Structure 1
Amino acid sequence: MREEQNNIFSVFDELLPRKEKEKLLNQRSKVIWMTGLSGSGKTTLAKYLEKKLHSEGFLTQVLDGDNIRTGINNNLTFSADDRKENIRRIAEVSKLFVNCGVITINSFVSPTEEIRDQARSIIGKDDFIEVFVNTPIEECEKRDVKGLYAKARKGEIKNFTGIDAPFEQPVDPALELLTENKTIEESGEELFNFIIDRIKL
């Protein structure tokens, strides 16, 4: 494998620079990385933000467990090693979108500081906006329409974050959204207002 990599030659310096693509799209590309427990509202907020930004004339791409785990990462399990590989691939894909000038909205549990730091280092700290969707596990279980928490508590799902796998709260997120007593619209507008000035060209 190492020998094969010696025969790979980068062409990034020959491609159109990111600034030209951002200028074309009239936006500054960033990765909005939402982390939180399953059921915290990450995906719902990602969809809200996508629609809001689209209505304001911004080009976005949402990356979420459903469209990643059924596609590019469909060969990965939920073991500790595969969780790391899952996030590594997502971060690399996100970096490609950023280089194309696209605002990327990511919705992943990404449960540990190590995993989130890995993503940040791949994407680049200046392009990585960490948003902690902070919802108590009791509230997440109430919202759990898929019944995943109930299955995890019965032992039918192993390595489920918050039950038998840890979730480490972000130490210093760019934004912390406390969603328990707020509507999606309230949390979504808080997220939008925080993001908008960071993506305007």
Structure 2
Amino acid sequence: MNKPLLAAVEQPQIRPYALSLSCASRAALKQQKPCCLWLTGLSGAGKSTLANLLELRLNQLGRHTFILDGDNVRHGLCSDLGMSAEARKENIRRMAEVARLMVDAGLLVIVSAISPFRADRETARALFEPGEFLEVYISTAFATCAERDPKGLYQAALAGQIKDFTGLDSPYEAPLQADCEIDTARVGVEQATARLLQLLLEK
């Protein structure tokens, strides 16, 4: 059973503190333009693989980066959340808020998360300044992801052992206007990583 989510409570006594050091100053120190690259797609589509290789490439170029991987975040920050639609919404909200803070710190942040609902991704985008959020749709088909099944999740879901599985009995809403789309069944890992690197460097 999913644990209940805490309802948002207005606390008028809490007000944001105006910091003296600007986001631009932090970015200038790192000599880069910070942004959030958000990889969305089905489980097994290749998001984490691409995020990991892209970060290695960026590190080789001397860029300051961090990956927020959906599974890793669920082991800590979001370990109290289940897989209901409400819990998934909260999971993405938390990841987006952390990504925004990291962008404020001047980092290139790569988010790798299924993030199945379009509205939640748009809410995430709204946290950032124009040009700071790039949505990448890893559009690998369900059948291909199920064939890969790196974690055995598709086998379990198809056997009825996992409920609310994205793409099966829980919907995935594809982006309508992604900044980049990659089908890893058609594009190799190295080529896909090069495309993402080019996207970042152009922006």
Once residues 104 and 61 of structure 1 are traced to their aligned partners in structure 2, the CA distance between those partners, rounded to angstroms, is 5
Identity percentage of aligned residues: 40
Name the counterpart of 1:194: 199
1:35-72 CA distance string (max 9 Å, x none): 00100000000001100000001000000112200010
Once residues 134 and 64 of structure 1 are traced to their aligned partners in structure 2, the CA distance between those partners, rounded to angstroms, is 18
Judge conservation of contact 1:62–1:106 (CA < 8 Å) in 2. yes
Name the counterpart of 2:81: 76
Q: Report 1:121-136 matches (<5 A).
A: 121-136=126-141
Structure 2 gaps of 5+ residues are: 1-7
What is the TM-score when the length of structure 1 is the normalising length? 0.94
Structure 1 gaps of 5+ residues are: none
1:108-141 CA distance string (max 9 Å, x none): 1111211111111123443110000110111111
Once residues 158 and 44 of structure 1 are traced to their aligned partners in structure 2, the CA distance between those partners, rounded to angstroms, is 25
- Give 1:117's match in structure 2, choosing from 101, 122, 140: 122
Once residues 83 and 101 of structure 1 are traced to their aligned partners in structure 2, the CA distance between those partners, rounded to angstroms, is 27
Name the counterpart of 1:160: 165
Report deviation, 1:182. Answer: 2.3
Structure 1 runs of 4+ off > 3 angstroms?
Answer: none
Aligned residues: 196
Once residues 38 and 188 of structure 2 are traced to their aligned partners in structure 1, the CA distance between those partners, rounded to angstroms, is 21
Whichever residue aligns with residue 44 of structure 1, its letter is T
Name the counterpart of 1:138: 143
For residue 14 of structure 1, give the secondary structure of its aligned residue in structure 2.
Answer: coil
Name the counterpart of 2:94: 89
1:5-40 CA distance string (max 9 Å, x none): 1111211x2231011011100000000000001000
Is residue 32 from structure 1 mapped to residue 29 from structure 2 by the alignment? Answer: no
What is the TM-score when the length of structure 2 is the normalising length? 0.93
Name the counterpart of 1:19: 24
Q: How has the CA–CA distance of structure 1 residues 192 and 83 changed in structure 2, closer, same or farther, with 3 Å as cutoff?
A: same
Name the counterpart of 2:179: 174
Whichever residue aligns with residue 144 of structure 1, its letter is D
For residue 127 of structure 2, give the secondary structure of its aligned residue in structure 1.
Answer: helix
Deviates more, 1:137-146 or 1:81-90: 137-146
User: 1 or 2, which has the higher helix percentage?
Assistant: 1
For residue 122 of structure 1, give the secondary structure of its aligned residue in structure 2.
Answer: coil
1:67-112 CA distance string (max 9 Å, x none): 2000100000010000000000111101100100001000011112
Whichever residue aligns with residue 12 of structure 2, its letter is N
Once residues 155 and 6 of structure 1 are traced to their aligned partners in structure 2, the CA distance between those partners, rounded to angstroms, is 47
For residue 32 of structure 1, give the secondary structure of its aligned residue in structure 2.
Answer: strand
